[in-house]
């Protein structure tokens, strides 16, 4: 009947089952920030984002049916061919996006805050606000965002410009505050994907609140 050390240490033997971390799920490797950004949409955590998952993810963060459907087609068609590893031949019309090789989906006319390996580059992140946050140092207005997108345009890069436009305009629509500011901390949270988790939580809470009313 001897008490175990864990009991002696304050009865913490009833540890709650913790959710597995992303690293556990993705083969024991810590994910890069860009992999985390994409992994939010890998709803069943198997490393591949099928269109149904992109759709569910977009709905979960507050996009409507039409926007989510259009966004899914756009995202999966564009990123599937780029991210499928060279040794894999995916079934036709399934449009899988691979989280592991998501950095291959990088496009031009972006901020370069993600480097070519999908890592976060703090200097580039700071540069966004140094260069374009004129009204207040820690946020972007609608107009300032437009100015940034224009400044980032690479020559003759139609696809990259459209990609950057959609990413940033959608982010702005989802996350701007009442006065139309897109905050620096929100933009920071894009780069590790935590912004999506926050939006999903807020959406769930708003639903619960509406039910109770
Ligand atoms: C509502 C949904 C989404 C929003 C608002 C969003 C927003 C953004 C933003 C603002 C960037 C930064 C671009 C830059 O630094 O200029 C970005 C980059 C990126 N996102 Fe998303 N994203 C979304 C969904 C997705 C999904 C579903 C995927 C793929 C599964 C994805 C893959 C990427 C990739 C590959 C980049 C790197 C682009 C580059 O640096 O060239 N995103 N996203
Ligand atoms: Ca999946």
Query: Tens digits of per-residue pLDDT, 132-160?
Result: 999 999 999 999 999 999 999 999 999 99
CB 109 within 8 A of CB 161: yes
- Ligand 1 pocket member 125 (CB < 6 A): no
CB 198 within 8 A of CB 175: no
Rounded Cα distance, 173 and 131, in Å: 22
- Ligand 1 pocket member 73 (CB < 6 A): no
Query: Tens digits of per-residue pLDDT, 92-122?
Result: 899 999 999 999 999 999 999 999 999 999 9
Rounded to 5 degrees, what are φ and ψ at 131? -85, -35
Q: Write down the pLDDT at residue 28.
A: 76
- Ligand 1 pocket member 111 (CB < 6 A): yes
Q: Considering only CA atoms, which residue is closest to atom 39 of ligand 1?
A: 106
Helices (H), the chain: 5-8, 22-25, 33-39, 51-60, 65-83, 122-132, 142-152, 158-175, 184-190, 194-212
């Amino acid at each position: 009947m001897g008490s175990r050390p864990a009991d002696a240490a304050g009865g913490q033997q009833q540890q709650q089952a913790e959710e597995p971390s992303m690293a556990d799920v993705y083969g024991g490797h810590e994910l890069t920030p860009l992999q985390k950004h994409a992994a939010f949409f890998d709803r069943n955590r198997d490393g591949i984002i099928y269109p149904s998952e992109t759709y569910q993810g977009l709905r979960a963060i507050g996009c409507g049916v039409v926007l989510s459907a259009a966004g899914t087609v756009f995202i999966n068609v564009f990123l599937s061919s780029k991210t499928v590893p060279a040794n894999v031949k995916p079934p036709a019309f399934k449009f899988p996006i691979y989280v592991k090789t998501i950095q291959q989906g990088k496009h031009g006319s972006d901020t370069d805050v993600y480097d070519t390996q999908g890592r976060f580059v703090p200097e580039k992140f700071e540069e966004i606000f140094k260069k374009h946050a004129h009204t207040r140092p820690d946020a972007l207005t609608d107009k300032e965002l437009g100015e940034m997108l224009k400044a980032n345009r690479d020559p003759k890069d139609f696809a990259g410009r459209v990609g950057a436009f959609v990413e940033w305009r959608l982010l702005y629509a989802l996350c701007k505050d009442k006065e139309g500011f897109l905050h620096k901390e929100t933009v920071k949270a894009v780069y590790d994907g935590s912004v999506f988790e926050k939006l999903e939580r807020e959406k769930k809470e708003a639903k619960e609140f509406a039910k109770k009313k």
